[in-house]
Structure 1
Amino acid sequence: MEMDSGGTNNSSNTTRGFHSKRFGGRGGDRPSKVCFNWQTGRCSRHPCPFLHTDPPSSALAWRKPNPNSSSSGHWGSHRTRPGTAAAGPRGVCKYFLAGTCGYGDRCRFLHSYSVGNAVSLLIPLLGHTKVVTGVTLPSGSDKLYSGSKDETVRIWDCQTGKCAGAIGVGGEVGCMISEGPWVFIGVPNAIKAWNTQMSTELSLTGPAGQVYALVVGHGMLFAGTQDGRILAWKFSAVGNCFEPAASLIGHRLAVVSMVVGSSWLYSGSMDHTIRVWDLTTLQCIQTLTDHSSVVMSVLCWDHFLLSCSLDQTIKVWVVKESGNLEVTYTHNEEHGVLVLCGMHDAQAKPVIFCSCNDNCVRLYDLPSFSERGKIFAKEEVRAIHTGPGGLFFTGEGTGELKVWKWVTNDTPVASH
């Protein structure tokens, strides 16, 4: 395993770390006055000497739990709350995102990486030269791992924000996950498995073409491959290795998304379908055909399945009395949807991150789908990962990895 220690393309900002007070800390020397330019979406000072958040009294007013909302229904009620989120008719300044706008406060477009008062950018991590396709934070580790189509995995120190090393993996990274101390990396025709505690490195062969999706469940590692198969391995503690367990065949085209919920595995494919697999028998028990394009992401929340597609929809599925999954609500977007990621805030209010191919990530309350905020990027966000303490990470098509934090007193926890 060859490592280029330190990296050569890091921004000087990374030395401040993920938890720098300058990038979102709550130091006692900060004034209580709210920034007027921030309220109008025009503040470009970094850091700004004034607050970029609503006063506590107004924030509490709009964050009260909705008594009509529950986990069992009211999908898509679209109740608008004060303080949320649309960028308005001006839109975000594309030159600001590119770092080339010379108008400053005089620009008629927004100078912000986000709108709404829910999240704050802590720090950008620079180093990848192509789209970031995977981000993960292994259990018990103080290192963040990111994979890219530039054929490298970068390791970031969570305390300093510096790149601790860049590792060549011999092919484009299609996906990345972690389970316990293990990091799994999908590359063409193989899966790289690293044990971050024991410095063990394995290569699992068997996939044909790119590995686009990885998930762990029921004691097995599952890989969605370019040829439409889902390969499964079981971990052997005796030999500290992974043994082939099964090959799940059914999809006609590449498997690009997977999630495990309860005793089922859900797989989304370029063939426009979602297949439901029984984890005990490893047999397909249902094929869902309601999407009309690639099923880019699947997510389990409570007893619901959420799926998104390039057909510009997010669908909510529930198990009916017949035992089959059926669509209970369809949320329509104006653009194709690439990634779904869920979190719960401190009030147990679920929030979903929805990345679209208009270079924007939308934040929605569930189940109402009321918009809570937006995050803007130079190019499509292909990877979103939640971390501890209200942190989350977005990987962009430019290769930039951004670290974000919720700025309210509600500290979210990850939803699987």
Structure 2
Amino acid sequence: MCFHGGKRRVFNRLGGDSTAPTDSSKNQKVCYHWRAGKCNRYPCRFLHGELPDPSTAAAATANGSGSLKRFSDDSGFSGPVAKRGPNYKNKNTWVRSKTDQKVCTDWMQGQCTHGDGCKFLHSWSLGEGFALLNHLDGHQEFMTGICWPGSDTVYSGSRDGAVRAWNSSSGECVGVANVGGEVGCMFSEGPWVFVGIPDAVKAWNTQTNSDLSLSGPVGQVYALATSDDLLLAGSQDGTILAWKFNAFITNNNFEAVPSLKGHTRAVVSLVVSLAAGAQNRVYSGSVDHSIKVWSLDTLQCLQTLTEHTDVVMSLLCWEQFLLSCSLDQTIKVWIGTNDGGVEVTHTRSEEHGLLVLRGMHDMESKPVLLCVCNDNSVRLYDLPSFSERGKIFAKQDIRAIAVGPDRSGLFFTGDGTGFKVCKWAEAEAEAEAEAIATSS
């Protein structure tokens, strides 16, 4: 893929040290326009409430790419994380009562006239222990993929046919590549970034800056996954194509192997389970409402799961469990049986259809499930209890979510306006803030 900025080829790591944080004294004034219910700035440098909204604390000016210029420190996509203990109950626009869990749609458009009297939430997030650090924009349509292949660059893809490269230290857009069609999905393995487009998979090596196009898919490629030596692509005609490759050898040798066939409609989700001492498996979810279980060794179908009643949008392997979500408004948790099969052990119902599942650990090593709903929101749940940790809102559909490297605490949510950068708070900061709140 040829990344360009302006009229020249760009793929060097642009951006330097982050600029210094803005003077906090300037952020202690309440926004005059917000009080009148007319502020349309996002982010606004003044307060929208009694305490600063973390989503506005890292505000920066826009650069030529349409992205925000800088984050407020040098830790890479980092910024001021909310230092609030679990019992923190002070009034602010980020954490509100249980009755105010719906975001004000008029406020999103900068048109709410109720101000403090509005019964709905005036914030892009609800919850404790995490913060919205920044929002990067530049794509013209909603995002369908975000990946971070372990370098200093994050990549995002969109239905607008572009893949953008972002410097993870500065937040600047350092390159744009036109991949020749709508991006249906993205995935990274080692130095490789894979992009699913109509009738092909684009493969790009970030170390050698070489790229190639893998043909074979029929229609849009909606899902990608890799094992140790296999690349899998779920296509619009229900076929899962496969190529042998080695992620850490730079000879660009991808060898096509027999496809996985059995779904009757598009394959939109894929995940690989590599369990020590157990059979390695591939799980695929489809528009035909089914999940198929495949042997990674023989590429044969072992089982078909039909408990969902609508499109199986996303799959997640976590320890010994498989999690699935669907437009039927359920999350299902599956576990292996004694005879080698898979069965449902728990079903959680939601109010809306479900689009994407991702899992990560917070800064206290607690497992958290990130769940994208088709009401333009992300729900955050503790596992295994499914107790709610918070919500993140957007103006438009959220179709992409990704997590950063282990222990970074970072995660990203992509929608039609760009993507938000979020981070979990350090456990020490939480404890310190709780002690301060208790003593006061």
Tell me the TM-score normalized by structure 2.
0.76
Distance 2:329 2:136 in 1: 30
Shift of 1:235: 1.5
Matched residue, 2:264: 252
Shift of 1:57: 8.1
Distance 2:324 2:239 in 1: 20
Give me the CA root mean square deviation: 3.2
Q: Is the 8 A contact 1:16 1:161 kept in 2?
A: no
Partner of 1:138: helix, strand, or coil? coil
Q: Is the 8 A contact 2:222 2:269 kept in 1?
A: yes
Shift of 1:311: 0.3
Of 327, 330, 333, the match for 2:347: 330
Q: Does 1:356 align with 2:367?
A: no
Matched residue, 1:393: 412
Matched residue, 1:62: none
Distance 1:154 1:261 in 2: 29
Matched residue, 1:341: 358
TM alignment of 1:206-225, pairs within 5 A: 206-225=216-235
Partner of 2:358: helix, strand, or coil? strand
Are residues 394 and 36 of structure 1, via their aligned partners in 2, closer, same or farther at CA, if it must alter by over 3 Å?
closer
Note the residue ranges of structure 1 that are not aligned, 5 or more in a row: 8-14, 60-82, 412-416
TM alignment of 1:17-416, pairs within 5 A: 37=49, 46-47=56-57, 53=82, 55-56=84-85, 58=87, 88-89=99-100, 91-101=102-112, 104-139=115-150, 141-235=151-245, 237=249, 239-262=251-274, 263-388=280-405, 389-396=408-415, 398-409=416-427
Larger RCO (CA within 8 A; separation ≥ 6)? 1
Distance 1:19 1:351 in 2: 32
* Per-residue CA distance 1:359-409 (angstroms, 9 max, x = gap): 11111111111111011111221111001311111111x241111111242
Worse-matched range after superposition: 220-229 or 153-162: 153-162
Q: How many residues align?
A: 369
Distance 1:238 1:181 in 2: 9
Are residues 206 and 301 of structure 1, via their aligned partners in 2, closer, same or farther at CA, if it must alter by over 3 Å?
same
Distance 1:392 1:17 in 2: 21
**Structure 1 residue identity aligned to 2:273:** G
Are residues 242 and 20 of structure 1, via their aligned partners in 2, closer, same or farther at CA, if it must alter by over 3 Å?
farther
Distance 1:395 1:17 in 2: 25
**Structure 2 residue identity aligned to 1:249:** K
Distance 1:290 1:85 in 2: 37
Shift of 1:172: 0.1
Note the residue ranges of structure 2 that are not aligned, 5 or more in a row: 8-14, 29-46, 59-79, 89-93, 275-279, 430-440
Q: Is the 8 A contact 1:86 1:374 kept in 2?
A: no
Q: Is the 8 A contact 1:18 1:158 kept in 2?
A: no
**Structure 2 residue identity aligned to 1:254:** A
Q: Is the 8 A contact 1:118 1:406 kept in 2?
A: yes
Shift of 1:241: 1.9
Distance 1:251 1:86 in 2: 45
Matched residue, 2:36: none
Are residues 328 and 184 of structure 1, via their aligned partners in 2, closer, same or farther at CA, if it must alter by over 3 Å?
same
> Which segments of structure 1 move beyond 6 Å, counting only runs of 4 or more?
15-20, 83-86
Partner of 2:214: helix, strand, or coil? strand
* Per-residue CA distance 1:70-122 (angstroms, 9 max, x = gap): xxxxxxxxxxxxx9987524621113323444555454421111111122111
Q: Is the 8 A contact 2:312 2:326 kept in 1?
A: yes
Shift of 1:44: 9.4
Q: Is the 8 A contact 2:334 2:342 kept in 1?
A: yes
Shift of 1:21: 5.0
